[in-house]
Amino acid sequence: MERSKKPSAIPVSSPLPQPTVTVEDKKVIASLASGESVTVNLFGATVVSWKLANGAEQLFLSEKAVLDGSKPIRGGIPLVFPVFGPPPKDHATSSLPQHGFARNSYWELLGKSTSEASDRQGDNSVKLDFGLSTSMLSDAFKGAWPYDFGLVYSVTLSKGSLETSLQIQNKGDKSFEFQTLLHTYFRIDDITGIRILNLESKSYTDKTRDGATFTESSPAIAITQETDRVYQSLDPAVPIIVASAADNHSPILTVSREGLNDVVVWNPWIEKAKAMGDFAPDDGYKNMLCIEAGSVIGWQALEPGETWEGGQTIRPKI
């Protein structure tokens, strides 16, 4: 008599845990099953929180950030478009507010999509697409910048990285010029404990010194005072690294860029932090650093029908 064989385990391809996306109160929250999460406020499509699986918040959000749409959000990743800084008087953006209207307008959630982690070990990643187009602007912004445009901003949360990328389309019949920037406020433990790598020998304008131009001499930049510098014409293949001063300059996080060849390094320091009504606590400048990937030197021209794309991927050391 044949001994009945125990059925051997049949390999089944178990589905990876799916990310969840919830929309509540003008906020979109996406989470991976392993615990990472990102929160995007529809006002400005501003990413206001990005947490790792262990709950560690990666972005600085001021305790006094205004979240009701009455002013740009102080912290997270405000999006700058179509002008960086105060608009020049002789330019088509001259009637817009500082940093333009993208961070000052309500965006819509266009959709979400998931993709499988390539190694089948981790969770899926989740991509949120947000849109802003001419018809969604206030009449005041439409009047101040009369161009027909469409923006799609994609926020992709993966295990160990956050990617934010912007597509800009000229949908009208006249060309326009723009600047854009991802104004990322990183949360850091202690501003005195970090160094910024990969900017040595690069040219920068220093806004704290009347916009004078200098060449960076330091291989590892320390922030010890108010800092507001626009580094320009960087090699897009070289990421900006925020490193630990104490730990032999080992990376704390890296910022890789595509199409964004300028980088602003900003910390308001003591007096400027106190002077900002929506910045809190006063000594919060010790726990933040803005590394802002952008295209802000000169202007990008976009002809009718053309699309421009750029973005960043942030990877913290885990």
Ligand X SMILES: O=P(O)(O)OC[C@H]1O[C@H](O)[C@H](O)[C@@H](O)[C@@H]1O
DSSP secondary structure letter of residue 134? G
Give, in degrees to the nearest 5, the angle at Cα 221 between 219 and 227: 145
Nearest residue to ligand X, using CB?
266
Write the binding mask 249 to 288 for ligand X: x where contact by CB under 6 A, - elsewhere.
Answer: ---------------x-x----------------------
Residue 168 in contact with residue 178, Cβ under 8 Å?
yes
45 is an interface residue for ligand X by CB under 6 A: no
| Shortest separation between residue 304's beta carbon and ligand X, angstroms | 30
CB of 54 to ligand X, least distance (A): 29
Binders in 58-87 for ligand X, by CB under 6 A? 72, 85
> Of 33 and 66, which has the nearer Cβ to ligand X?
66
What is the rounded end-to-end Cα distance, in angstroms, of the chain? 58
Backbone angles phi, psi at 286, to 5 degrees: -70, -20
User: Which string of b and e fits 11-26 if b means at least 16 CB within 10 Å?
Assistant: eeeeebeebebeeeee
Smaller CB separation from ligand X, 176 or 231: 231
- What H or E segment, with its residue span, contains residue 112? strand 108-115
**Contact call for residue 32 and ligand X (CB under 6 A):** no
Instruction: Report in angstroms how near the CB of residue 228 gets to ligand X at its nearest.
Output: 5
- Per-residue x/- mask for ligand X, residues 179 to 218, rule CB under 6 A? ----------------------------x-----------
Between 20 and 98, CB nearer to ligand X: 98
Sole binder of ligand X in the list 44, 59, 76, 99 (CB under 6 A)? 99
**98 within 8 A of 73, measured Cβ to Cβ:** no
Q: How far apart are CA 195 and CA 250, in angstroms?
A: 10
The reply on whether position 228 binds ligand X by CB under 6 A is yes
Q: Which residues, 105 to 124, sit near ligand X by CB under 6 A? A: none
98 part of the interface to ligand X, by CB under 6 A: yes
The token pair at 50 is: 């990005």
Closest CB 98 distance from ligand X, rounded Å: 5
Rounded-to-integer distance, Cα 148 and Cα 35, Å:
40
CB contact at 8 A, 36 and 157: yes
* Shortest distance, position 227 Cβ to ligand X, whole Å: 9
Six-digit token string for 121: 């070990």
Catalytic residue numbers read 183, 292
Contacts of 242 (CB under 8 A, 6+ apart): 186, 188, 194, 195, 196, 197, 251, 252, 253, 254, 255, 289, 291
Indicate the residue among 126 and 293 with the shorter CB distance to ligand X.
Answer: 293
* Binding site residue list for substrate: 74, 98, 103
Q: With respect to ligand X, which residue has the nearer C-beta, 32 or 288?
A: 288
- Site size for ligand X, by CB under 6 A? 10
Q: Does 290 bind ligand X (CB under 6 A)?
A: yes
C-alpha span between 223 and 41 (Å, rounded): 30
Pick the closest to residue 251 from 179, 314, 167, 205 (CA basis).
314
Q: Which residues bind ligand X (CB under 6 A)?
A: 72, 85, 98-99, 207, 228, 264, 266, 290, 292
